[in-house]
Amino acid sequence: MGVHATSIERAREARPRPYGQPARKKLHLIHFWRLTLLFWDVSSLPLPNESARLAVLARYRIFDSAPSASFDNIVYLGARVAGASMAYLAFLDDRREWCKARFAWPTPEVPRAYSLSAAVLDSGDVLVVSDACADTRFADHPWVCSERHLRSFVCVPLMSPEGFALGSLTVADREPREFSSVQIQALRTLAREAMELLEQRREDIASAPAVEIAAVIPASPAPPASPRFMPTPAAPASWPHWWTEVTPIAAVQLDAHDRLACVNPAWCALLGYSAEEAAALTLSDVLHPADWARQREAMDRLRRGELAQFTAEQRYISKSRATIWVRARTLLPPGSAHRLILAEDISERKRAETEVRLLQGLILAAGGASDTAGALRIALYQICDAAGWDLGQAWIPTPNDRMLRLSTATYARDGSLERFRYLQADLTWSRGEGLPGRAWATGTAQWLNDAWSDGAFRRQQAARDCGLRAALAVPVAGVNGTAAVLEFFAREPRAPDARLLQIAATVAAQLGTTLRRRQAEEMLRAHDARLRLVVEHLPVVAWTADPRLQVTSVHGAAAGRFDPRALLARPENTPLVTAHRFALAGETRQCDLEEQGRAWRVFLAPIPGEDGGVAGLAMEREARAASAADRAAIAQLAAALAAQAGQLLAMARAAGGDEPPAGA
């Protein structure tokens, strides 16, 4: 009644009531019968062949039987595999739903009218609900509307050999979520195992009917309702075969010495080993060295009883030496030295995350670095951190563009790798020479699986001394060809990874845009410094203006006495404005002006390029008697400065900008 009243109140608030009290009574009756049909007509009416289903269910004598460790294990593992906070295994007769086993599920039984899994009795198929509040079948269910706030669940039917659904294995959460196909397949497997246990129970009862059910299946305490302390499976003599043979998730059983005592086919398919090859391995042979210390600490805490289970994202090394990311759950039953690890392959997700992190890192490099070396340094760190490389360094062309030399930009995961940089500090590479030279000459990434076995690798001894094996060189395009070659090293051999090479190409293209802009900005600053050096030692003022006659830069020793910004802003100052207009049209112009009681000679030249502009020089005539040769030299300097400004604007556009930085 509480649920019905709640739904009626919602309807009362949501709908207008223009017809007074009689209309409200009619509304109450409509919603009363609607809810009655939802929770009684649909789920309580007898299903076709319901009598036959109940007869089959009665043969198992499962209702009100003693707790069973085997069923508890299935429910617990179902919650873990699905990543759910609650789970239960229940059977339905004509009156109620009764839980044989439950994990963090608060209710041992409910009337059949309120059963979540009643819907699977007729369909016999898996029921998946990602958001119960948005599902009209369950939006008004007591467990969805009440303080329990049930939002998502999966019900897998328990199918008898006769084809009847006797109950369900259900996992649930209080938050909306999606369940993967792998998780649903694992729950199907667990449901089949539950039916095998049920069949075993029926056979035991048939052969020894006088034996109490509690004696057939030893009792064990029910799992606690709180999900904080998760119970681990009981300690059987050996792990159930479906944990290591049937489940689609990779599973491995470890003995007391961390040897791989038992692996399932999914584990062999994941890492590429046969069961016989795996028998000769330990966990440290397949777990990435960087993840071993954390796993070792967690297993020690499992043994001391400080943890019930341990879940982490880890890297496994396959037989082909490829790195595979997995989400691994480690379980240890009380009183047993054998552990079970369930590993779900998450490599695709990690690759996508790696690509996103690399591109984000390059955005940081573009926005945060002040020069080319800074951008390279940030990029090396981001790529090594995201892709798991231990050392990153950059090679840059010499000024004559004939050799590659080692840049100051580098990243090392630990200080011991600095020695490798020291051992090659004096090396240079010509085009096609060595790993960096080949990347420079071909313009494509170059991969080295194992430097120790490659006789053509010149730095082989240095790599051995520092424990570096795999290598990757990636060229980065700049303004005038290759701006740099990024080189990365790892301590373990790595087979070529097509996805990583594609990411490297994307990264290099993005970084090339960043470096071209940085190089153009550095060249702008260098040209600006040379311009300042010239004009600050002469009694002249030099400036540039855009096509709108807005002055973009001013330099010179006489800038305090001649202000081109103020002069161009005066509408009456037609000689200077007119001369600028002619210069914008492509002509070199000169004119004489009087400003602050001083006479000035002005030389103007057009800036070549699509956007154009004007470069100007103003010389105080009284400060220096300008001869015809002097005037010609000054005009030539103005033309040279205009040509230089045009080149700088072209480089800025090629680097991705519309104009040079302010003040250049």
pLDDT at position 38, please? 40
Q: In the predicted model, is pLDDT for residue 320 greater than 60?
A: yes
Digit-coded pLDDT (tens) for 443-459: 888 899 888 888 888 89
Confidence bin at 257 (pLDDT 50/70/90): confident
**Measured distance CA(622)–CA(625) in Å, rounded:** 6
Q: In the predicted model, is pLDDT for residue 24 greater than 60?
A: no
Confidence bin at 100 (pLDDT 50/70/90): very high
Among the CATH numbers 2.40.50, 3.30.450, 3.40.50, 3.30.10, which is that of 536-654?
A: 3.30.450
pLDDT at position 391, please? 92
pLDDT at position 524, please? 65
Of 42-56, 169-183, 350-364, the poorest mean pLDDT is in 350-364
Digit-coded pLDDT (tens) for 359-376: 555 555 555 556 677 778
Q: Mean pLDDT, to the nearest integer, of 418-434?
A: 87
What is the rounded average pLDDT for all residues in the chain?
Answer: 74
Q: Three-state DSSP class for 177?
A: coil
pLDDT at position 36, please? 38
- Determine whether domain 50-216 maps to CATH 3.30.450.40: yes
pLDDT at position 231, please? 31
Among the CATH numbers 2.40.50.140, 3.30.450.20, 3.40.50.300, 3.30.479.30, which is that of 241-345?
A: 3.30.450.20
Q: In the predicted model, is pLDDT for residue 262 greater than 80?
A: yes
In this prediction, what percent of the chain has a pLDDT beyond 90?
10
Q: DSSP string spanning 229-283? A: SPPPPP--SS--HIIIII-SSEEEEE-TTSBEEEE-HHHHHHH---HHHHTT-BH
Confidence bin at 646 (pLDDT 50/70/90): low
Confidence bin at 254 (pLDDT 50/70/90): confident
Question: Between 139 and 96, where is the model more confident?
Answer: 96
- For 110-149, b/e burial (b = at least 16 CB within 10 A) is bebbbbbbbbbbeeeebbebeebbeeeebebbbbbbeeee
Distant-in-sequence, close-in-space partners of 92: CB < 8 Å, separation ≥ 6: 98, 112, 115, 117, 118, 121, 166, 167
Q: Mean pLDDT, to the nearest integer, of 520-545?
A: 69
Q: Mean pLDDT, to the nearest integer, of 193-214?
A: 67
Q: Three-state DSSP class for 165?
A: strand
pLDDT at position 169, please? 93
Digit-coded pLDDT (tens) for 321-342: 888 889 888 887 656 667 888 8
Which of 15-29, 478-492, 647-661 shows the highest mean pLDDT? 478-492
pLDDT at position 226, please? 32
**CATH number of the 350-515 domain:** 3.30.450.40
Digit-coded pLDDT (tens) for 460-471: 888 998 999 999
**Measured distance CA(553)–CA(642) in Å, rounded:** 13
Answer for the pair 341, 316: CB distance below 8 angstroms, yes or no: no
Digit-coded pLDDT (tens) for 165-189: 999 999 998 888 888 887 888 888 8
Confidence bin at 12 (pLDDT 50/70/90): very low
Of 14-23, 212-221, 227-236, the poorest mean pLDDT is in 227-236
Q: In the predicted model, is pLDDT for residue 502 greater than 90?
A: no
**Which pTM value belongs to this model?**
0.39
Strand (E) positions, 380-503? 391-397, 404-412, 428-429, 446-448, 470-478, 481-490
Q: In the predicted model, is pLDDT for residue 14 greater than 70?
A: no
pLDDT at position 392, please? 92
Q: In the predicted model, is pLDDT for residue 393 greater than 90?
A: yes
